[in-house]
Amino acid sequence: MIRPFLRRFGRLQLAHILVEEDPAIAGKIAAEEYERLLNIASRRMYARPLRREKGAAGQLLADLAARGVIDLALVTELQLVWEARNRVVHPDNRPVTPEEVERMVETVERVCRPWGSSSERFRVAKSFR
């Protein structure tokens, strides 16, 4: 029953629907999608998956901004998504609010989703040459 929905609309839409009912589950779905897209971005940037060490996601975001793939202002926004992801994944932390999960879903959808549309390496933006 859920497979046709996911094929048609995707994980982030499911997370969006679940936000009010269960922010923790919605946040886990959004966190999983964010991690998947960060891994794609890492492969496109460094030709390898995202490292599993503390600070790796932040370094990737900084490198994406330095190369002109994302605007520097988005780094802070994406770091907030990573912090919300940590609070969702590590339940001993303060729980996320529906508003935080909604912002998380919207940001991943708007900024990160395009990363998954290609496997081509990121190039330096023309304005950075």
60-100: per-residue pLDDT in tens? Answer: 999 999 999 999 999 999 999 999 999 998 877 788 899 99
21-68: per-residue pLDDT in tens? Answer: 999 999 999 999 999 999 999 999 999 999 999 999 999 999 999 999
Q: Is the pTM of this model over 0.85?
A: yes
Question: Which residues, 6 or more positions from 71, have their beta carbon under 8 angstroms from its beta carbon?
Answer: 65
Strands (E), 24-126: none
Dihedral (Cα; 101, 104, 105, 109), 10-degree rounding = 180
Other CB atoms closer than 10 Å to residue 93's CB: what's the count? Answer: 12
